[in-house]
Amino acid sequence: MLIGKHLIAGEWVEGDTTFTSAPAHGSCHDFATGTAAHVDAAVQAAEEAFVTYGWSSRTERAALLRKIAEEIDTRGDAITEIGSQETGLPEARLQGERGRTVGQLRLFADYIEKGDYLDQRHDPAMPDRAPLPRPDLRMIQRPLGPVAVFGASNFPLAFSVAGGDTAAALAAGCPVVVKGHPAHPGTGEIVAQAIDAALKATGTPAGVFSLIQSDGIEVGTALARHPLIRAVGFTGSQRAGRALFDLCAARPEPIPFFGELGSVNPMFLLPAALSERAADIGKGWAGSLTMGAGQFCTNPGIAVVIDGPDADAFQSATQGALEQVDGQTMLTDGISDAYRRGVAQAAAQSDVAQIVVKDSASRGAAPNLFVVSGDDWLGNAALHEEVFGPMGIIVRVRDADQMLQLARSIEGQLTCTLHLADDDAALARQLVPVLERKAGRLLANGFPTGVEVCDSMVHGGPYPASTNFGATSVGTLSIRRFLRPVCYQDIPAGLLPEQE
């Protein structure tokens, strides 16, 4: 049952004003609008809880993560129902995303119990060393403190209230205050109910988690500026992410902002691969480009090919596949509007040809495909910007040298993909050293939509793909974002944090 209130340190709290959800179908609901006062109450409670939770054992935190997963699964049908209404996503997609979300919580629980992530180092005392003795030195990774998490629009579960940032922070020992996304406030509230139940069942301090709902910027601004918040996790647009990044950097005491801001995820189709399987790659790209109405941060929006008959075959196959795809419902009216603006901007460029033209009415998105020469793409920065939705651009370069030039020119990306065959090895060896500096994940002969949650995944990249390219927002390494190394010199064993 939805109650439309904030969850602040175990209490469901009303607001003076409300906002109304805008579901793709089904009933609208009213939700309390958060304020700076709500933020302060939640963060103060988180700081108080950190005194205990920051020193809890890995076993205790693992038990909490597993209990949250259990409580989310218990509410699975309700989450799927409200999530489908709010976002327009099909039930199967939401069920799969719930599986990913609870699987991630359980993965992190198993991982922290092993203790390897702490990267502990110990240099025993050497009192008799000459000319100077050495003290006993221990380095241990310690939690930062209260963390603010911003729910994402495109993943109502996996990147939202109990998603990757929240799971990583809780695993590290950091309390979390979530700013719920207004695209799916009902889904967020039910997940918060699950977390609240888990906190109570495990005896975890209530201040370890709070959810504040809002459809404006006051809550987000107050969270980024609050002096007790020690880090921010964010997945969203470059515009919003950069604004929050600047707020965090401008504080009297700047804090890390872990923002994942998306990218165009270029694919480079090498000559031998294109000769062997141009049609198959084109059809596969069309499927990846339109999956989920293109609403993935790893959506491959750019395909780079060397001009010629094989490029013609690839372009024809992609065009034919996209023309068979109907419009799909997008997550929000605002995202749909932005997609139409992006398509219109590309279509307005004099050096671009549009070869798949489909209108996207109301809250829907239909695929659109453009083609441009390598020279014109390199000379037009407007074509390098992400369009969130099923829009693709084929860049037809003159030769391998211009393909390398284009690779060197791209900004930071979440992913870069090579489609290659055995005879492409020489060109691939030139591209890989360039592309590994541009992206957090390199793929061969695949498509980047779909991010595996595992130890080795990197979901991040050089700016503007993310604001801290030494980190990842997916996988067990994401926990390290919310830890910092502390060296304990000659500290008695009874005063040290858990080590085993």
The amino acid at 38: H
Lookup: tokens for 393: 């651009």
Q: What type of residue sits at position 399? A: D
* Token pair of 327 as six digits: 């419009």
Do 155 and 147 meet the contact criterion of CB atoms below 8 Å apart? no
Residue 1: closest CA among 78, 76, 86, 98: 78
| Amino acid at the residue 217 | I
Both tokens of 475, joined, read: 């996988």
Structure tokens at 1: 């049952």
Query: Cis before residue 23, ω within 30 degrees of 0?
Result: no
Is 48 catalytic? The answer is no
Q: Which residue has the tokens 């050495």?
A: 134
Q: Which helix (H) or strand (E) holds 105?
A: helix 91-114
Q: Find the largest Cα–Cα distance for the chain.
A: 79
Q: Where are the alpha helices (DSSP H) in 291-436?
A: 309-323, 333-347, 374-378, 400-409, 425-435
* Catalytic pick among 47, 97, 260, 386: 260
The one catalytic residue in 174, 297, 386, 416 is 297
CA pair distance 233, 63, nearest whole angstrom: 23
Q: Which residues contact 407 (CB under 8 A, 6 or more apart)?
A: 266, 268, 304, 416, 431, 434, 435, 438
Report residue 78 CA to chain centroid gap: 24
Q: Catalytic residue at 260?
A: yes
- C-alpha to C-alpha distance for 10 and 12, rounded to whole angstroms: 7
Q: Are 176 and 122 in contact (CB under 8 A)?
A: no
The CB density around residue 455, as the number of other CB atoms within 10 Å, is: 12
Considering only CA atoms, which of 168, 174, 166, 215 is closest in space to residue 195? 166
Quote the DSSP letter at residue 97: H
Task: Please count the CA atoms within 13 angstroms of the CA of 17 that sit on its side-chain side.
Answer: 7
Length of the chain: 500
- Cα–Cα distance, 31 to 152 (Å, whole number): 18
Asked if the bond preceding 256 is cis, omega within 30° of 0, the reply is no
What residues are labeled active site?
A: 260, 297
